[in-house]
Structure 1
Amino acid sequence: MVDFEACLAMDRDPRVVQYIPGPWDDTEKHEAFLRERIQTDFGKGLGYWSIFSRDTESRFLGWVLLIPYDGIGPKVEIGWRLNRSAWGQGYGTEAARPFVSYAFDQIGLPEIVADIDTRNVASHRIAEKIGMQHAGDMMYGAIPMKSYRLTRRNYRSSAL
């Protein structure tokens, strides 16, 4: 339950969610959304993982996810969200990188994807640092997004 409250607090920071559509300003809808995400079985090996500081293990930094794309699949997306206090310190890349290995080596996924608001420069950097490649541009409603993709084949050839 501590993670739940920490996630709610993180999402209440308008700068943290400025590029992510969601029910952040409606307390009831926000809590229901988060409860549903926590309780959903996304499939074997998929879900959300909380990130904590190594220095202060009780310090919630954010989370990383591997879930079916847009909640339904069949592709699997990787994503991350960090508290503003954790920005610019490499935590996003450090937390996401093991999940790339996990996605391909443990789960056996053929690829992972991420769609990121074009204005979210920090998340573009994380996607590129973990080996994802820009795969095109798209619109999510009225929001321009950059699509990223990493295949198992490209992951294996870059890991050599």
Structure 2
Amino acid sequence: MIGYMRRLRLRLLGAFSPWLPASDTTVITLRPMPGDLHRDGRPTEAFWQHLVALCGEGWLVGAGHSSLLPTSPDFSFISATGRKALRPFGKLVVVTELAMFDPEGPRLLHLVCTNDGVAVATATSQVSLAVPMLAQPATRTLVRAGDRVGSQLKSVSVPTR
């Protein structure tokens, strides 16, 4: 249910983002479940994968770039460092910002903080954008009245400017 509400909130934010000013940094709050953490408080690989996907989508929507993409991009988890053990059900604030551009796509930096503002972990992710397609020149079909052969019309496609 919580995941559904998050996705619904992202969809609504995506629908209204053309009217909102674009921002380079997005802030998302979440609470890790006990299954997302090891016994010693370290996040699992699945936790990082979900965090990267959720925060990446939020960054695309918040930055106003999601409407320009033909398909939803893939988010790949690169690395993470933890400074402090996390508590189950503890409130976390994740700040996501653009770290750098690569030939494969932009890299995002995710700073994970407690509710008090203490940084407890960082993560890096790669946004894999779709391969750009070359635009085909627009063509217009020209049919002349005297170009009838039998019962078919002859037509010519001409590139337009």
The normalised TM-score by structure 1 is 0.27
Bigger strand fraction: 2
Bigger helix fraction: 1
The normalised TM-score by structure 2 is 0.27
Pair member with larger Rg:
2
